[in-house]
Amino acid sequence: MTYSSTIVTETNFAIQAKNPETIVVSAVGAVGTGKSSLLNAIAGAHLFATGSSTATTHTVQGEVRPWAFLPGKRYAHLIDTPGLCDSAGQDRHIIAEMVRYFKSLANGVSAFLLVFNINDIRLDGYTQSMLRLFEALLGRHFWDFVVIVFTHVDEENVDALEEHMDAVVDPADGFIAEIRRIHNLPARTFVPSVIFTSTQNVRMSSYAQKHLKEIYNAVVLCETRNSHHRFTCNWFRRIMAIPSEDERSVFITNSIKDAWTSMTSSVCSTQ
Ligand SMILES: Nc1nc2c(ncn2[C@@H]2O[C@H](COP(=O)(O)OP(=O)(O)OP(=O)(O)O)[C@@H](O)[C@H]2O)c(=O)[nH]1
Ligand SMILES: [Mg+2]
């Protein structure tokens, strides 16, 4: 690509970032579940750093690209976030990073891709704390915008993983049913799309491409279910209204403390 065509492309991405038709998806979840790999797979390009060591992603980063492997062309604003790690200090820093990024968003978020590794589907204390933190800080509306994605469902292992996949969707005591129970979410309204995918080798694998298209369809379904209202957060707005960096930091710290102690507060809304 020449220097001038690079500039034209970057200008186009900046324009598409402001376009209300552009899908906005943010990958969130625990450390090392495959968030960055998933967004790379969606873009069909290596945009975000990935790695097997713990905590590869340290900053919130967004890239605008066409959603790959679709018959038509639709742009997506892909927002990668550092994994939460159940450490109050570290998670505070991560949330502050998210705020820094979200303040620049022209439109709200179409869907949160809540990412898990299929090999680790326990809804343990750590995972529960993470989900409670999201709910407490982002509000119960957060759940309306959730698409659940399980990574590491590689084609060659799919038979061996079938039991895990059944355990996720079991209507009585599966992973989704447990989330519903713990967060007191009505079975009638909390019906998130659940996608099992591999993020590996997507250029060559029709298997992975099929699942990435399913994620796209799940995001479109999420948009429809929310009547095309995007997720936004008053909490972010309140933070940005605080003029001094120090006061902002105190406010964020206190909000997270309050969130831990009172998991029922709801501070976000839809646009
Ligand atoms: N086999 C396989 N490996 C995967 C898959 N998705 C991610 N990985 C691997 O899992 C490791 C972690 O992936 P990342 O995408 O960096 O995970 P992350 O959630 O962004 O990690 P943090 O930024 O540290 O929170 C990398 O070695 C990836 O190659 C998958 O679907 N299949
Ligand atoms: Mg990452």
Write the pLDDT tens digit of every residue in 223-237: 999 998 888 766 667
Nearest-atom index, ligand 1, CA of 58: 23
Identify the pLDDT of residue 2.
60
Q: Domain total for the chain?
A: 1
**Residue 143 burial class via C-beta count within 10 angstroms: exposed 0-12, middle 13-18, buried 19 and up:** buried
47, 50, 200: residue to mutate for ligand 1 pocket, most atoms within 8 A of CB: 50
Identify the pLDDT of residue 149.
97
Identify the pLDDT of residue 264.
40
Would residue 1 count as lying in a domain? Answer: no
Identify the pLDDT of residue 197.
97
Q: Give me ligand 2 centre to Cα 203, in Å.
A: 20
Nearest-atom index, ligand 1, CA of 197: 31
- CATH number of the domain residue 65 falls in: 3.40.50.300
Closest ligand, as measured to the CA of 38: 1
**CB 89 near ligand 1, within 6 Å:** no
Nearest-atom index, ligand 1, CA of 54: 24
Residue closest via CA to ligand 1's atom 11 equals: 52
Would residue 130 count as lying in a domain? Answer: yes
Q: Give me ligand 2 centre to Cα 172, in Å.
A: 32
| Cβ atoms of 145 and 177 closer than 8 Å | no
Would residue 11 count as lying in a domain? Answer: no
Identify the pLDDT of residue 233.
64
**Phi, psi dihedral angles at 195 (to 5 degrees):** -120, 135
Identify the pLDDT of residue 100.
67
Would residue 12 count as lying in a domain? Answer: no
Q: Which of 166, 198, 149, 167 is nearest to 27 (CA)?
A: 149
Would residue 9 count as lying in a domain? Answer: no
Would residue 211 count as lying in a domain? Answer: yes
Q: Which tokens go with 177?
A: 């049913």
Identify the pLDDT of residue 269.
40
Type of residue numbered 207: Y
Q: Give me ligand 2 centre to Cα 66, in Å.
A: 20
In whole angstroms, how far apart are CA 57 and each of 48, 51, 91? 8, 9, 13
3-state secondary structure of 111: strand
Q: Give me ligand 2 centre to Cα 25, in Å.
A: 15
Q: What is the distance between the alpha carbons of residues 119 and 105, in angstroms, rounded to a whole number? A: 34
Identify the pLDDT of residue 268.
42
**CB 81 near ligand 1, within 6 Å:** no
**CB 253 near ligand 1, within 6 Å:** no
**CB 32 near ligand 1, within 6 Å:** yes
Identify the pLDDT of residue 46.
96
Would residue 7 count as lying in a domain? Answer: no
What residues make up the domain containing 194?
17-270
Q: Give me ligand 1 centre to Cα 87, in Å.
A: 21
Neighbours of ion ligand 2 (CB under 5 A): 35-36, 56-57
Would residue 90 count as lying in a domain? Answer: yes
Q: What is the distance between the alpha carbons of residues 195 and 41, in angstroms, rounded to a whole number? A: 14
pLDDT lower than 70: segments of the chain: 1-8, 10, 88, 92, 96, 99-100, 103, 233-236, 259-271
Q: Give me ligand 2 centre to Cα 200, in Å.
A: 15
Residue closest via CA to ligand 1's atom 14 equals: 34
